[in-house]
Amino acid sequence: MRAGCARSRVPEEPARGAALGQGRKGGLKNHMEVVPRLRQRQNSTAAVGERDQEASFGKRPILLWLLRTRGYYELATPGGGAGHAPRGGSHTQSATSRPAPRGTPPPPSLHPRDPPSPTGACAAVRPRPFTLQPWSPAAKMAAPSVFWGAAVSYRLFLGGRVSLALRQGVWKAAAAELQRAIAYLFPSGLFEKQARPIMKHPEQIFPKQRAIQWGEDGRPFHFLFYTGKQSYYSLMHEAYGKLLDVEKRQNQLQAKGLFSEKTKTKDLIGSRWLIKEELEEMLVEKLSDQDYAQFIRLLERLLTVECSAEEEEFVQRFRRSVTVQSRKQLIEPLQYDGQGMAFSTSEGKRKSAKAEAIVYEHGSGRIKVNGIDYLLYFPVTQDREQLMFPFHFLDRLGKHDVTCTVSGGGRSSQAGAIRLAMAKALCSFVTEEEVEWMRQAGLLTADPRVRERKKPGQEGARRKFTWKKR
Amino acid sequence: MDPGRLLHTGSQAPQSLAAHLDNPAPDDSPRAVSRTSEKDPVKTFSEACLMVRKPALELLHYLKNTNFAHPAVRYVLYGEKGTGKTLSLCHVIHFCAKQDWLILHVPDAHLWVKSCRGLLPSTYNKQRLDQPAEASIWLKNFKTTNERFLSQIKVQEKYVWNKRESTEKGSPLGEVVEQGITRVKNATDAVGVVLRELKGQSSLGGFRLLVAVDGVNALWGKTTLKREDKSLVAPEELALVHNLRKMVKNDWHGGTIVLTLSQTGSLFKPRKAYLPQELLGKEGFDALDPFIPILVSNYSPKEFESCIQYYLENSWLQHEKAHTEEGKKELLFLSNANPGQLERLCAHL
């Protein structure tokens, strides 16, 4: 059946303690069928099996413990598990080959922790993937193991001592269904590989600490130790030293007459200076705001003068890159109506108002809202200013005709919703750059503000009840 | 006409219009004179000007070609809020004033159906109610507008005001008006008398009568007035309204009737209503039928330009961007070429 599984199987008798189906590499499933065995396994198979088992469970201490404590269970699969992919070795348990379970007294003979059966059937604890199997005993794949607790309950359920011979026969039929039932009803990810705890790198957990700053004789190592902020001052010293070098070089060039006035503009876009916290972390030292500001000023001064590659590299150490904020705005496709006029449709929302706007490419600046002229629909100037905003921003005040429908909300939120819809629709008539400008102006962002919930114990969302002294 | 004459035009359009147009523009160049009047323009701009627009010109054209032997034609100016109905009316009035017509101008009929204090049971007819305050105001205005005619027109009946005072037959109309102004209790009746006389005498041809009512939908709507026992008053129970309704009926000839609908002061009407059907209601529509409707709409691009130019010339727009093209486009968008909205916007700049 599987590599490494030594089985002496009686073909007509499906393994009483037949090997478990092979699970995926790794996780042991907690569905292990436990079938008590009558006799001891043969040592060889047991030894092999046990070694394999131990090996396979070497990395899973909890399972090893389980096996050791409940070790006398024969973990078996009915049906032979032929459909399983062989993975690793199987094992057998044998009471004799295993050291006695720690702390547990040897169980009575017909306790589930009976000494293992003498049949050569190989019982293997096999890590098994948990799958929901169809309820058919004939399914080869469906041979989940029942957790040891289930076996106990099963035993209780059966009640009393049942002769093993009887058990073997009876169990096989009923056990399979029971296992399946329990596996289905109590799915567990306890042994799932992906559910293992992931631990952080120790560097992330333990903060950087400073080693002892002075030697045995009490004399500090660093020459700036007595300033209190040795790393900071040494960094400043270094940076200023570089600045002086650069200036000296420039003076020499000037003296020789080879000084060229050109200053190459460094591309500072896309990167930012280190923030104070980052610098503190780098130096493992507390800084004040003034210190930080001074340092940044020094670096910027270093950048203004022409410096060589190593100075550049020194400065670049203190810059971090900033991701470019380019959000791709979805641009509506243009549609063409009967007369060949291009138009584009889009929607907008604000609070609880929803609006849909159709912007025509050529027009004279007429806007109809729900069939009514916008002057009559929005008598308040403020709302009309909101409608004006997208067009005024793009300088297309009298060039488009708009038809929109709006529902919900109040007058101000309807105006906002229409504004958003119009701006989105205008994207399709406008260049990419202008779309980016609109996005930065906030025309294409839906306003996320909604009414805040009223809390109990307060009069409103924020307002508290009048405080009475007594 | 004398330059000092003022026509008061009611609360919705509290502009005073001085009879001071430079040239009445001929029909073929409708934008020659491009001025608009502001709130109290006499103070702000030290002049009062009016933009000549198509609806007004159309009306003037009709007026010039009216046949005064036929019954009076009714013209109804209607349109969205703020498009310039009242000012078109003012333009027509001014024109007629220059042509020496007798002007019967009700600045705002809505004032007569809401927030009146002092309702008295009418002396003439017990079921109706008097409004002495409004009537006397109106009489004063009438006096200032039509000074010339007051001495010309003679009363054709004898009217007894009370035990001591009466107006004889053949006395000038001015006396009736004086009587109404001095004796406030009889003001409403004086108004009624004036209206009746004018109606009767305009057919004779001595003068031409222009009846101009702003907010005529007030005459057929509801009122917010209540009697002492808190029961609502219907419009027909007000004597002023009753008389005015009779005036507006086209059973006389020798003049015209120009009316304006107004939603702004109207009671119990939705904001978006502007069609005659909606604002007048069935009753009013039937009463005014047939009439010639004239739609007053927003500014055309040229008109808008000229309006902005006027503001700029008078340094009304102080914002630095107002001179630029973008600024004008912004204003155009925000106001959608609605004159009222534009005025309000520019007031801030």
How do residues A213-256 score in pLDDT, each as one tens digit? Answer: 888 998 999 999 999 899 999 999 999 999 999 999 888 888 88
Q: Which residue of A has its CA nearest to B273?
A: A376
| Contact indicator for B249, B268 with CB cutoff of 8 Å | no
- More confident site: A466 or A323: A466
Mean pLDDT in chain A? Answer: 74
Give A-chain residues touching B274 at CB under 8 angstroms: none
Give A-chain residues touching B329 at CB under 8 angstroms: 397-398
Give B-chain residues touching A395 at CB under 8 angstroms: 326
Closest by CA to B137, choosing from B85, B93, B79, B177, is: B177
The shortest CB-CB distance from A374 to any of B80, B329, B336 is to B336
pTM score of the predicted model: 0.60
What mean pLDDT is predicted for residues B317-324? 83
The shortest CB-CB distance from B330 to any of A374, A379, A392 is to A392
Chain B within 8 Å of A381 (Cβ-Cβ)?
yes
Rg of chain A taking only CA atoms, in angstroms: 39
The shortest CB-CB distance from A375 to any of B329, B330, B338 is to B338
Query: With an 8 Å Cβ cutoff, are B330 and A373 in contact?
Result: no
CA–CA distance, B342 with B335 (Å, rounded to integer) = 5
How do residues B85-140 score in pLDDT, each as one tens digit? Answer: 888 888 888 888 888 888 888 888 888 888 777 778 877 777 888 888 888 888 88
Give A-chain residues touching B344 at CB under 8 angstroms: 381
Residue A99: is its pLDDT beyond 60?
A: no
A12-21, A29-38, A196-205 — which is least confidently predicted? Answer: A12-21
* Contacts of B221 by beta carbon, 8 Å cutoff, 6+ apart: B113, B235, B266, B267, B268, B269, B281, B284
**Which residues are B296's β-sheet partners?**
B79
- More confident site: A56 or B336: B336
Query: With an 8 Å Cβ cutoff, are A376 and B335 in contact?
Result: no
How do residues B44-82 score in pLDDT, each as one tens digit? Answer: 666 777 788 888 888 888 888 888 888 888 888 888 888
How do residues A393-427 score in pLDDT, each as one tens digit? Answer: 998 888 899 999 999 999 999 999 999 999 999 98
Chain B within 8 Å of A397 (Cβ-Cβ)?
yes
ipTM of the predicted structure? 0.78
Specify the pLDDT at position A149: 56
How do residues A263-302 score in pLDDT, each as one tens digit? Answer: 666 666 778 888 999 999 888 889 999 999 999 999 999 8
Chain B within 8 Å of A211 (Cβ-Cβ)?
no
Question: Hey, is A136 helix, strand or coil?
Answer: coil
CA–CA distance, B111 with B137 (Å, rounded to integer) = 11
Specify the pLDDT at position B67: 82
Specify the pLDDT at position B217: 84
**Which residues are B256's β-sheet partners?**
B73, B210
CA–CA distance, A451 with A449 (Å, rounded to integer) = 7
Query: With an 8 Å Cβ cutoff, are A397 and B326 in contact?
Result: yes
Specify the pLDDT at position A261: 63
| Contact indicator for A424, A332 with CB cutoff of 8 Å | yes
Where does A76-192 show beta strands of DSSP type E? none
Q: How far is A380 from chain B (nearest CA, A)?
A: 10
Specify the pLDDT at position B40: 52
Specify the pLDDT at position A76: 44
Q: Which residue of A has its CA nearest to B339?
A: A375
- More confident site: B197 or A71: B197
Q: Which residue of A has its CA nearest to B348?
A: A381
Q: Which residue of B has its CA nearest to A401?
A: B333
Chain B within 8 Å of A305 (Cβ-Cβ)?
no
Residue A380: is its pLDDT beyond 50?
A: yes
Give B-chain residues touching A392 at CB under 8 angstroms: 326, 330, 333
Q: What is the DSSP letter of B103?
A: E
Q: How far is A333 from chain B (nearest CA, A)?
A: 27
**Spacing of C-alpha A369 from chain mean position:** 45
Q: Which residue of B has its CA nearest to A365?
A: B333
B209-214 and B102-106 beta bridge pairing: parallel
CA–CA distance, A361 with A428 (Å, rounded to integer) = 10
Residue A372: is its pLDDT beyond 80?
A: yes
Among residues 256-285 of chain B, which lie with CB inside 8 Å of chain A?
A: 271-272
Residue A24: is its pLDDT beyond 60?
A: no
Q: How far is A397 from chain B (nearest CA, A)?
A: 7
Query: With an 8 Å Cβ cutoff, are A392 and B333 in contact?
Result: yes
A176-180, A315-319, B135-139, B150-154 — which is least confidently predicted? Answer: B150-154
Q: How far is A356 from chain B (nearest CA, A)?
A: 20
Residue A106: is its pLDDT beyond 60?
A: no
Mean pLDDT in chain B? Answer: 78
Q: Which of B278, B329, B348 to mutate to test the interface with A (most CBs of A within 10 A)?
A: B329
Q: Which of B83, B333, B349 to mutate to test the interface with A (most CBs of A within 10 A)?
A: B333
Structure-token pair, residue B323: 């001179």
How do residues B236-260 score in pLDDT, each as one tens digit? Answer: 888 888 888 888 888 888 888 888 8
What mean pLDDT is predicted for residues A101-112? 48
Residue B38: is its pLDDT beyond 70?
A: no
Give B-chain residues touching A374 at CB under 8 angstroms: 336
Query: With an 8 Å Cβ cutoff, are B272 and A376 in contact?
Result: yes
How do residues A148-159 score in pLDDT, each as one tens digit? Answer: 555 665 556 555
Specify the pLDDT at position A145: 52
At B8, the amino acid letter reads H
Chain A within 8 Å of B333 (Cβ-Cβ)?
yes
The shortest CB-CB distance from A388 to any of B271, B330, B338 is to B330
Kindly indicate the confidence band of residue A141, based on its pLDDT and cuts at 50, 70 and 90: very low
Chain A within 8 Å of B324 (Cβ-Cβ)?
no
Q: Which of A375, A394, A395 to mutate to test the interface with B (most CBs of B within 10 A)?
A: A375
* Residue-wise burial string across A276-294, b where 16 or more C-beta atoms lie within 10 A, e elsewhere: beebbeebebebeeebbee
Q: How many CB pairs (< 8 A) connect A and B?
A: 36
* Contacts of A228 by beta carbon, 8 Å cutoff, 6+ apart: none
Give B-chain residues touching A373 at CB under 8 angstroms: 336
Rounded to 5°, angle at Cα A312 from A309 and A315: 155
Q: How far is B60 from chain A (nearest CA, A)?
A: 30
CA–CA distance, B130 with B120 (Å, rounded to integer) = 5
Structure-token pair, residue A398: 């009298």
Kindly indicate the confidence band of residue A35, based on its pLDDT and cuts at 50, 70 and 90: very low
The shortest CB-CB distance from B330 to any of A372, A374, A397 is to A397
